[in-house]
Structure 1
Amino acid sequence: MTRRRFVGLVPGLALVVAGCGQSTTGPVEVKWGRDTCDYCGMVIGEPRFAAQLRAGTNHKVYKFDDLGDAILFLVKQDWAAHPATEFWVGHMETGAWIDGFKAFYKGGQRTPMAHGFGALPAAADGLLEYDRFKGAIVVRGSTSRCETGAVQG
């Protein structure tokens, strides 16, 4: 009888163990108010302006408190152009994750690190496509709160 109970538990145990593995694609859970930005070290607390990068080479996930910090981090990585690299950003109205490479960006936002951009999933007048958004962040990068030393991690 004891053996029968043990055998009955093994399949369930296998399911639990298999469910614990990490995915190699998509955004991961953020512990809001506890996880810290991989660029500036600040606590990530605002889903509407947070971002994640998943390295295309090893699928490692990096988390950010501001979309701009993610871009400034990304442009320094040798895996930035890898076709499997993923960029996930918070929808500026709902906080839901959207594909950052396909998103459209609205300037003039009050964001955690003052980069000033929020992301939306659909094009509209006045919004920037990813490449123009990235260019604006890189040009202004040296004046961000992280880059000037106004924030210490």
Structure 2
Amino acid sequence: MNTTKKWMTGLMIGGASVALAACSTASAEPFEIKWGKTECEVCKMKVTDRQFAAEAVMENGKGYAFDDIGCLMRDWYPKQKEDKIAAMYVKDYKTKAWVELEDGHYVYDEMAKTPMAYNIVSFGKETDAKSYMKDHGGKLMDLDDLKKHDWKRGKMEMKMDGEDSEMKMDDSSSDEGHSH
């Protein structure tokens, strides 16, 4: 093999090694939810609300979608091994952009209308969370607070035959997930 071919071969092998290393150390990115079609991993409801959705991406690349941060944090996360999770995301209530769970700022607002009535609103910026609290009340939380939160559900509003009705969610439901 002449010097040019050896150099090119070495360059290609080196480039491939760098590319593989970059893939294995890159943080997982949020995946695309098909709004109104993708089902929540826990409650199996369609993920439709872009302000309250959450995701988990595993080290093996598999992704899980959730319609409410409560489905992620109460029912799914405690059953996982943290070293298998590459990243978890929530939607920013204000911007609807993805925010890494650990970087988020959360407001527990009993009056918030979230899909599964866990009443946690997520923000990427603490100033946005505090602004929400100024207007609506609530308690500021971080990831550690979420892990210790009791995850009681409030009232769920449901539309039946064009009429609004309220339903109090029973927190004594099994650990298998949400009942419907």
Mapped pair 1:134 → 2:147: yes
Mapped pair 1:67 → 2:69: yes
- RMSD across aligned C-alpha pairs, in angstroms? 2.6
Tell me how far 1:105 sits from its aligned partner. 0.3
CA contact under 8 A between 2:106 and 2:141: conserved in structure 1? yes
Identity of aligned residues (%): 26
From 12, 26, 30, give the equivalent of 1:27. Answer: 30
Higher strand share: 2
Q: How does 1:138-153 map to 2 (within 5 A)?
A: 139-140=150-151, 148=173, 151-152=179-180
What does 1:76-95 correspond to in 2, within 5 Å?
A: 76-77=79-80, 79=81, 81-82=82-83, 85-95=86-96
Letter in 2 for 1:120: F
Aligned residue for 1:85, secondary structure, equals strand
Q: Tell me if the contact between 1:113 and 1:146 (Cα under 8 Å) persists in the aligned partners.
A: no
Q: Is the 8 A contact 1:92 1:120 kept in 2?
A: yes
Equivalent position of 1:7 in the other structure: none
Q: Secondary structure at the match of 1:105?
A: strand
Say yes or no: does 1:43 pair with 2:46.
Answer: yes
| Counterpart Cα distance in 1 of 2:147 and 2:170 | 17
Deviation, structure 1 residue 102: 1.1
Q: What is the CA distance between 1:82 and its match in structure 2?
A: 1.4
After superposition, give the CA deviation of every residue in 1:36-91 in whole Å (9 maximum; x if it has no partner): 100110010001100000123x23110000011011201111x2x21753111000
Hey, what's the Cα distance between the residues in 2 that align with 1:30 and 1:146? 28
What SS does structure 1 have at the residue aligned with 2:45? coil
1:145–1:113 Cα change, 3 Å = farther
What CA distance in whole angstroms lies between the structure 2 residues aligned with 1:147 and 1:41?
Answer: 19
Q: How many residue pairs align between the two structures?
A: 125
2:73 maps to amino acid: I
Query: Does structure 2 conserve the Cα–Cα contact (< 8 Å) formed by 1:88 and 1:100?
Result: yes
Query: What residue ranges of structure 1 are gaps of 5+ in the alignment?
Result: 1-22
Relative to 1, partners in 2 of residues 1:147 and 1:128: Cα closer, same or farther, differing over 3 Å? Answer: same
Asked if the contact 1:66–1:115 (Cα under 8 Å) also holds between the matched residues in 2, the reply is yes
Scaled by the length of structure 1, what TM-score is found?
0.71
1:25 partner SS:
coil
TM-score, L = length of structure 2: 0.61
Contiguous gaps of at least 5 residues in structure 2: 1-25, 131-138, 155-168
Q: CA deviation at 1:142?
A: 8.1
